[in-house]
Structure 1
Amino acid sequence: MLDDSSISPQSRYAVINRIASFYYSQGKSDDMVLFLTDWVETHPGDSYNAYWLFMVASHYLKLNEEPIAEYYYERIITNFPDLLVNGKSVHFSCLQHLIQISKRSANRINYFNRVIHDFPQQVSITEMYMRIALEYEKVGEWDAALKSYELFLEQPDSSTIQIAGLPNAYTKARQTVDFSKSSKDWTFETLDELENAVKKGITSYNWRALDRYRSKVNFFAMSWKSSESDPNALENFSMHNFMLGNRIRYLDTLDESSTPTEAYLRTWGWTSYVNVWYLYFRKVDFPADPEIHGRWEWAGIYFGEKL
């Protein structure tokens, strides 16, 4: 039947699909792969070639031969026009698999961009912008990452979307964009400089200096049980309100739980209802600006004793 030049494309599709399925059902998957790949090579004009290679790629994916599957999926979206099989786009299915199995960020960026451009109605554009922003970060394309975060924030569901593996997507995007647009003039070269400046401000009751030292974006003041993503954790108050008439003290050394990227200074005497405050210092993680990346900031306050 395949040698019959008068056979219709639909009939030829049915025959090839039946032969491939027969090989597979008989446990002759190697024969199926050889049959389909040979057909594609010898019949470049077959409008269903993308689907035949998709069957080959899916076979290797089931065998956990991901590099081989990736080769065929990539070959399909690069060299063959899209087509619908059972109402589903072959290119879209390929891109979905490629996003899952590709190990290179540069490739994943390409796949995300193609999905956003070609299949915006079949995915969550909001999630796509977040995921592509993370990939841009991995390859150091900071301008593109920031632009993607901004596009994410522009989506109406950005603050409510639930993204698997990214529980604080909105907070990360909001903080990254806000920090990028800020002056960043509150940061210190080293942790020692920041610690000494804050201690001096407390000792001299210089609330104006302490207000200058606090981060001007993403600063939080919350209990240990709260989260930075909690709207009530973001505070914009003056230290003057808590220093006036109080006797503030602090430990000489940072808390023992401090790490090379985070530090805690125990202080007390602030209020009668929450006497102890832990001042939270952290190393700035912002590779987009090498002059700021690695400096230190006073990023927040934890109320009460450590849990």
Structure 2
Amino acid sequence: MGSGYDSIKKSMSPKHFHLLALIFFLSTILSCELTTNQYSYYITGSKEKQETLKELFRLLNREMDPGEEQFSIVREIANELLNQQEYARLTNFLTDWVTSHPKDPFNGYLLLMVAYAYMKQDAGPIAAIYFNRILTKYPDLLVKGESIHFQCLKQLIQLEKKPEHQIRYYKELIARFPEKIDLGNAHFMLAQAYEKTGEWDMAIQTYSKFLPYYSSSIPGFPDALGYAMKLVDYYNSPKDWTFESLDSLVSAVKKALDSGSSRELRRLRAKVNFFAVSWGQDANQPVGMDEFNLSDFMAGNRIRYADTVDASSNANEAYLKTWGWTQRITTWYLYFRKIYFPADPEIHGRWEWAGVYYGEKF
């Protein structure tokens, strides 16, 4: 029995057969032209690049089943447009594709390409919308071994400056990708975000988690470890050395000086972050309790003091000149400051004796 082709050929006159063949040939050509016309907006660049894009779109038109092969073609088209810096065409193509293929398992990655295209155009706020959309609406994908959610989180931390958003992103980064990040940096920046929102309990807890990572380098915070230690130590201390007003604090210190009681002076001074430096030295280097024994500097002498605080004092800090101390430098300025510590409203705005400056004031 002959083939179907032979049967058709035998049943038709040569004229009709050639006409049918011509129609089939023209329909094939027309189909290719329709495919090209459908995507004509995206056919751009040099003649060679246009031919490349045309061929890619022909391949895409034939690949009907969602999967890696179809994804590879879509990505090649996107990369070709990206290489030509045709960002508008690229974003239009990919967003149209995602809209018309909502079940494509690779849509998250394609939208990541859209976000990066907007980054290339210095359109950070629009890029952030896409990064966040991927993170919240699409499952994570590993493309060439890289998590698309991890890439989104890294970018969002740079783009989103609202602390409420940064809290969410840093928490997710720490929880999901601890092995891919500097945990010290992440904990410190998360604590900073909590601090900015006034969530002081969470800020202190997070600063405490940062402390073991003392070797971490935090851009913009050369003394991040010292800053965190001060807050954590201060938060955990009894803070029973504070006074309601500057006048009451100065009066208590003068009374202790009059009595010559180093023990009372020791009780009045701050137990956290107390410093003793010469003028011009870094007051951010606190001294230990055992390193500053006031009795060694009194030696039975009567310590005298000015009637009032120094004229350079202001609403937030004050200096009281004293003299008669033993050892090499006999004049000290006692330094008092108003406490700024919103983490504890009960002491925020009270006063403390925070340190000593050795020598005459400059």
Q: Tell me the TM-score normalized by structure 1.
A: 0.89
Q: What CA RMSD, in Å, does the superposition of the two structures yield over aligned residues?
A: 2.2
One-letter code aligned to 1:234: G
Amino acid at match of 1:270: W
Between Structure 1 and Structure 2, which shows a larger proportion of helix residues? 2
Distance in 2 (CA, whole Å) between partners of 1:9 and 1:256 is 77
Matched residue of 2:134: which SS?
Answer: helix
Q: Which runs of 5 or more structure 2 residues have no equivalent in the other structure?
A: 1-58
Match of residue 39 from structure 2 = none
State the secondary structure of the residue aligned to 2:328: coil
Q: CA deviation at 1:23?
A: 2.8
Q: Does 1:168 align with 2:223?
A: yes
Is it true that 1:43 corresponds to 2:101 in the alignment?
Answer: yes
Separation in structure 1 between the aligned mates of residue 63 and residue 81 of structure 2, nearest angstrom: 24
**Who is 2:266 aligned against?**
211
247-256 vs 268-277, greater mean Cα deviation: 247-256
Secondary structure class of the residue paired with 2:277: strand
Alignment partner, residue 139 of structure 1: 197
Q: 1:185 to 1:57 in 2, by over 3 A?
A: same
Question: Contact 2:262/2:295 (CA < 8 Å) preserved in 1?
Answer: yes
Which moved further from structure 2: 291-300 or 205-214? 205-214
Cα distance in 2, alignment partners of residues 245 and 82 from structure 1: 73
Q: Percent identity?
A: 48
1:257-295 Cα distance to aligned partner (Å, 9 max, x none): 434322222322212312222222121122121111111
User: C-alpha separation between the residues in 1 aligned to 2:221 and 2:171?
Assistant: 20
Q: 1:128-180: CA deviations, max 9, x gaps?
A: 11111111111111221121122122x2x32x332111122222222212222
Structure 2 distance, partners of 1:37, 1:8, is: 16
Write the mapping of 1:244-263 to structure 2, written as runs, cut at 5 A. Answer: 244-263=299-318
Larger radius of gyration: 2
One-letter identity of the residue aligned with 2:96: D
- Report the Cα distance in structure 2 between the residues aligned to 1:11 and 1:256, rounded to whole angstroms: 79
Unaligned runs of 5+ in 1: none
Note the 1:1-307 alignment, pairs <5 A: 1-5=59-63, 9-153=67-211, 155=212, 157-158=213-214, 160-227=215-282, 230=285, 233-236=287-290, 237-306=292-361
* AA matched with 2:156: L
More deviation in 268-277 or 21-30?
21-30
- Structure 1 residues 277, 94: CA separation in 2 closer, same or farther (over 3 Å shift)? same
Q: Is the 8 A contact 1:221 1:235 kept in 2?
A: no
Letter in 2 for 1:251: A
Residue identity in the other structure for 2:288? L
Q: Could you tell me whether the CA contact under 8 Å between 1:228 and 1:234 is conserved in 2?
A: no
